[in-house]
């Protein structure tokens, strides 16, 4: 796993769950995304090797999760990035970028065709994300087009198209 200025990126372990919840709440300033991480972890869309923490001297300073969402009328599932959180006092030091790159590398090694994200249109293009609608991957109703992005990986094929359905874990309340 890559390191950035002493920060190690590694898969989460049960002993990290409380720290992940605390960082997620602190980063988003509310509890909903921390509950969403827990709901995804308990769901069949969870991929243990794609829930990564950034650790600095035994302290968790960041977390990223990639998990499966469904395609309507299609048995294939696609990975979606999020939530991602960096401890507020450590933001803008490259930890988020290290987490995104590490997760994308694992997704590529797994033979996943692409990774979706619903997020800041100014942050994710840095990593190669672009509007997912251009690939024919349509978001669930009510999702703004500019925030709906995808990055294609080695196994991507253009015939992969359709409308995404979010799992129940995405609708969790705080």
Ligand X SMILES: CC(C)(COP(=O)(O)OP(=O)(O)OC[C@H]1O[C@@H](n2cnc3c(N)ncnc32)[C@H](O)[C@@H]1OP(=O)(O)O)[C@@H](O)C(=O)NCCC(=O)NCCS
Nearer to ligand X, 17 or 123 (CB): 123
Q: How far is the CB of 34 from ligand X (least distance, A)?
A: 11
Cβ count within 10 A of residue 158: 9
CB-closest chain residue to ligand X: 96
**Whether the Cβ atoms of residue 88 and residue 121 lie closer than 8 Å to each other:** no
Q: How far is the CB of 159 from ligand X (least distance, A)?
A: 28
Nearer to ligand X, 43 or 91 (CB): 91
Nearer to ligand X, 117 or 153 (CB): 117
Q: How far is the CB of 2 from ligand X (least distance, A)?
A: 13
Q: How far is the CB of 54 from ligand X (least distance, A)?
A: 8
Comparing C-alpha atoms, which of 136, 140, 77, 143 is closest to residue 107?
Answer: 77
Tell me the two tokens of residue 64.
């990223």
**Whether the Cβ atoms of residue 82 and residue 75 lie closer than 8 Å to each other:** no
Q: How far is CA 80 from CA 19, 51, 129, in A?
A: 22, 12, 12
Nearer to ligand X, 83 or 160 (CB): 83
User: Could you list the residues that contact ligand X (CB under 6 A)?
Assistant: 27-28, 84-86, 91-97, 119-120, 122-123
Q: Which residue has the tokens 């600095």?
A: 56
Q: What is the DSSP string of 46-93?
A: --GGGEEEEEETTEEEEEEEEEEEEETTEEEEEEEEEEEEE-GGGTTS
Q: How far is the CB of 124 from ligand X (least distance, A)?
A: 8
Nearer to ligand X, 96 or 139 (CB): 96
């Amino acid at each position: 796993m890559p390191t950035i200025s002493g920060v190690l990126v590694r898969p989460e372990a049960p002993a990290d769950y409380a720290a992940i919840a605390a960082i997620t709440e602190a980063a988003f300033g509310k509890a909903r995304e921390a509950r969403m991480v827990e709901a995804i972890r308990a769901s069949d869309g969870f991929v243990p090797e794609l829930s990564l923490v950034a650790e600095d001297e035994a302290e968790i300073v960041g977390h990223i999760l990639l998990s499966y969402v469904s395609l309507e009328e299609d048995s294939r599932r696609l990975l979606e990035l999020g939530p991602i959180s960096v401890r507020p006092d450590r933001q803008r030091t490259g930890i988020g970028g290290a987490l995104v790159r590490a997760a994308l590398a694992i997704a590529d090694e797994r033979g996943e065709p692409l990774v979706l994200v619903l997020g800041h249109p100014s942050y994710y293009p840095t990593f190669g994300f672009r509007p997912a609608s251009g690939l024919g991957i349509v978001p669930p109703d009510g999702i703004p087009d500019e925030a709906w992005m995808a990055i294609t990986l080695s196994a991507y094929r253009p015939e992969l198209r359709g409308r995404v359905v979010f799992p129940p874990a995405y609708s969790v309340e705080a």
